[in-house]
A = this chain, B = another copy of it.
Amino acid sequence: MTRKPATRLYVEEDLTAGGVVGLSPEHAHFLRSVLRLEPGRTVALFNGRDGEWLALIDGIGKGWASLSLEEQTRPQAAGPDVWLYFAPIKRARLDFLVQKATELGAARIQPVVTQRTIVERIKADRLRSNVMEAAEQSERLDLPEIGEAGKLDRVLSDHPEHRPMLVCAEAGEALPMADAVQALPADRGCTILIGPEGGFTPDELRFLANHPAVRFVGLGPRILRAETAALSALSLWQALAGDGAHRPPHRADA
């Protein structure tokens, strides 16, 4: 079993053999005051480009830490190509949705404003800190890209025309999500769109139905909250078209 440090941190700096990396004040505070790590201890670093590295704490003080890179422990690898588009929901549940979508390997997260969307304002820095923490904890090698919130018609017109978009719908005709995922063309990626809790308006549904990439999908007979629907749909896509058959690295026999 590869020995690895329990703590993983996302950094923006390049990671290369022999390099030295400084941490943000927040990360330095976390290592020093929460975990009480001292010089000589190791953490894992990743930046979404250069894989995962073992890093040795050379010095640490109030609001700063300097680490030297020891060795690459995992090479960078592309994650599964699934995007989550969602109508924003209220704060605690939005935090949750974004954290869980990151854990479940979404490559891109995009808030979409619909006619029945209640929450208008999204704090980008809050989305980003949720995404960063969840990526650190889940051991993924990158952060999901966060798309700027936009109205449904704009988001749809910007969406790649040939990239399938599975739109979760409680009403009307829909394929079971598992069937829809299994019928997707291989290697073309997929976007999952979760509507607002009031549902799409009839106008929006007609607009969606006319988009060549859209297929309506169902998630069973129970009414799911938006964040539950997002997690269910992502879980199914990963299991049936993504990397659900892979095992966590760094974890041989317990």
Contact = CB atoms under 8 A, between A and B. Distances in A.
A75 interface: no
A254 B103 contact: no
Interface of A: 96, 100, 103-105, 137-140, 169-172, 174, 176-179, 199-200, 202, 205, 218-225, 228, 231-232, 235-236, 238-240, 242-249, 251-254
Q: Which of A105, A222, A238 has the most CB of B within 10 A?
A: A222
Contacts of A179: 245
Nearest to A174: B247
B223 A254 contact: no
A40 B148 CA distance: 46
12 contacts: A104-B224, A104-B228, A137-B223, A137-B225, A138-B224, A139-B223, A171-B253, A174-B247, A178-B240, A218-B247, A221-B248, A236-B236
Number of copies: 2
Nearest to A231: B231
B172 A254 contact: yes
A170 B1 CA distance: 13
A244 B219 contact: yes
A141 to B, nearest CB: 10
A38 to B, nearest CB: 24
A48 to B, nearest CB: 14
Given A105-B220, A220-B243, A223-B248, 8 more contacts: A100-B228, A105-B222, A138-B224, A170-B248, A176-B239, A200-B254, A232-B235, A235-B236
